[in-house]
Amino acid sequence: MKIFSLQKLLLLSTVCVLAACEVRVEADAHDDENAANFVARVNDELAELRRESGAAEWVRSTYIILDTAIVAAKASEKYAAWHSATVADSLRYAREDLRPDVARALKLLTLSTSEPAPNDFAKRKELAALSTELGGLYGAGKYCPESSGEETCLSLGDLENVLAESRDYDKQLDAWRGWHTISIPMRAMYQRFVELTNEGARELNYADLGKMWKDNYDMSPAAFEAESLRLYNQVKPLYDALHCHVRAELAEHYGTDKVPLDGPIPAHLLGNMWAQEWGEIYDLLEPYPGVGDLDVDAALAAQNYTPVSMVESAEQFYESLGMPALPATFWERSMFKKPADREVVCHASAWGLDGGNDLRIKMCIEPAYEDLRVIYHELGHNYYQGAYRDQPPLFQTGAHGGFHEAIGDTITLSMTPGYLAEVGLIESAATSDEATINRQMQQALDKIAFLPFGKLIDEWRWNVFSGKTAPGDYNKAWWELRTRYQGIAPAGVRGEEFFDPGAKYHVPANVSYTRYFLARILQFQFQRSLCETAGHTGPLHECSIYGNKEAGARLLAMLEAGASQPWQDTLEKLTGTREMDATAIIDYFQPLMNWLEVRNRDRTCGW
């Protein structure tokens, strides 16, 4: 452990890992060779640590008991100790003339954790325990209404069903408030979590953890913030138009006393616990009732689809592009449905264990079209993980986080009526203008409604990590951002006795959320390029790349690069441009935009 090297550098000046530094480290002629050897050793150690920590995390997510909490915490603690010591050791190579691949590997080493631990045994142990406890509180969270026994306690799935299926204002509100009680005990833990991870980030020469997260995008943190805002402003007019229409329709259903026509929409009325996607209230918003209805749920039931056969359907799509079948271990080791005998984290996720040689998904699959689309999405992660498994471990991730999320989402864009009819999940593909508007409304309620939510989660955390948002204002700042970006608000006061951010999985699990926002942008940009490769000449929303091996080969070539080069190079390989571009969303949703413009003509929009 080269602690002395780190201390010496800190005494000399502030060191910027792999960035311009005021003081250069004195090096001899062999340093570049030594740096390469160091990276090779780190890759070997990282492969073994990931194998161990991945197994511990899998067991913890699929078997939530005290014993697995101990195992997961110990694995997390071990990785954190290795990471802090290894990054400290790496700082002796912090200079400007390293080989590009070595310099990139060293930077990715620094950024290979989302929760850097202080280089102190007791604090590392405390952080590992906090992280495990926060995740466990979420995974085991239940709402037990007053005057009910334990047997009537409601899980997140139960409460989500109320929001999705009920149209009773008070029942929906009770379900929404009920779930948000599970995060109240997290508040003090999260405050301490922020203190410890910020301390770890400072030891890596970042002002705070938010700055460290933003440095993971091959541009300065300030430039990345500006880029995120630029992309959001490209799509904001479409979101604003959708919000205006949805609010007017909800006001007609619930009454303007509950949904004012000039203010935010109550958060519990959008069919989703976090109002991040609104597809569950499509029945209140369907532009042309019954036209071109894609009743995939009925087909799944009629054809006796099981969780396994639903996953097989998704695999077949990827195989049609020329990609390999999933390994036999995928089918043996994945979790496809909720076990009856234990608590698990049902939140869908894809796992590339053992360096991508052990691919799995974890889901509590129900025979529904929504779950089918989630499966197609999760397999996108798996195919990405399998594609870059020959890269060194430090490069075994996406070009940036948004790429990883965008792959499966791109594939779901090809689940067009034509594709669904071809594979027998609907009888025929309706092609009328009315059917197109209905389908685009369904998609927009998920993909467009999500955009401001996708941006604000990390903006809230950036402000928390930087200290701009003080612990005493956690909830206030949360709802200020949600109202500013989403135009939603809670029904009633949500004071600081609550910790509503913790009711969203990615906050207690400490998963950066910007990746999902960027994925919503990139998936349309990817789809436009792949459709051009496939020779599609019609409207973008009609394109499916199913069965097109030329498009598949181009996609696979991008996936294989992993994080071995700046994302701009990887993006250019597929799209021909080095800049993320949201105009493809506008292209895709142009029919709906035109329709909304007419519908909103006499309405007061904004909040």
pLDDT value at position 33? 54
pLDDT digits (tens, 9 = 90+) for 171-195: 999 999 999 999 999 999 999 999 9
**Could you tell me if 232 and 583 are in contact, meaning their C-beta atoms sit under 8 angstroms apart?**
no
C-alpha 503/C-alpha 45 separation (Å) is: 35
pLDDT digits (tens, 9 = 90+) for 436-491: 999 999 999 999 999 999 999 999 999 999 999 999 999 999 999 999 999 999 99
Residue 420 CA to its chain's centroid (Å):
26
Indicate the SS3 state at residue 351. Answer: strand
What tokens were used for 461?
């955390």
Q: Inform me whether the pLDDT recorded for 31 exceeds 60.
A: no
Q: Inform me whether the pLDDT recorded for 140 exceeds 50.
A: yes
**Could you tell me if 172 and 268 are in contact, meaning their C-beta atoms sit under 8 angstroms apart?**
yes
What number of helices (H) and strands (E) belong to the chain?
Answer: 26, 4
Q: Inform me whether the pLDDT recorded for 255 exceeds 60.
A: yes
Q: Inform me whether the pLDDT recorded for 429 exceeds 90.
A: no
| Stronger pLDDT, 2 or 248, i.e. the higher one | 248
| 430 band by pLDDT with thresholds 50, 70 and 90 | low
**Could you tell me if 263 and 483 are in contact, meaning their C-beta atoms sit under 8 angstroms apart?**
no
| Extents of the domains making up the chain | 1-113, 296-448+514-599
Closest CA to 478 of 206, 187, 212: 187
Indicate the SS3 state at residue 267. Answer: helix
Residue written as token pair 């071990």: 78
Cβ count near 223 (within 10 Å): 12
pLDDT digits (tens, 9 = 90+) for 270-305: 999 999 999 999 999 999 998 877 789 999 999 999
pLDDT > 90 fraction of the chain, expressed in percent and rounded: 82
C-alpha 315/C-alpha 375 separation (Å) is: 9
Backbone angles phi, psi at 18, to 5 degrees: 60, 20
Backbone angles phi, psi at 83, to 5 degrees: -65, -50
Q: Inform me whether the pLDDT recorded for 82 exceeds 50.
A: yes
| 96 band by pLDDT with thresholds 50, 70 and 90 | low
Closest CA to 250 of 239, 265, 262, 238: 265
Q: Inform me whether the pLDDT recorded for 3 exceeds 50.
A: no
| Vertex 523: Cα angle to 243 and 508 (nearest 5) | 70
pLDDT value at position 152? 85
pLDDT digits (tens, 9 = 90+) for 304-328: 999 999 999 999 999 999 999 999 9
What tokens were used for 464?
């928390």
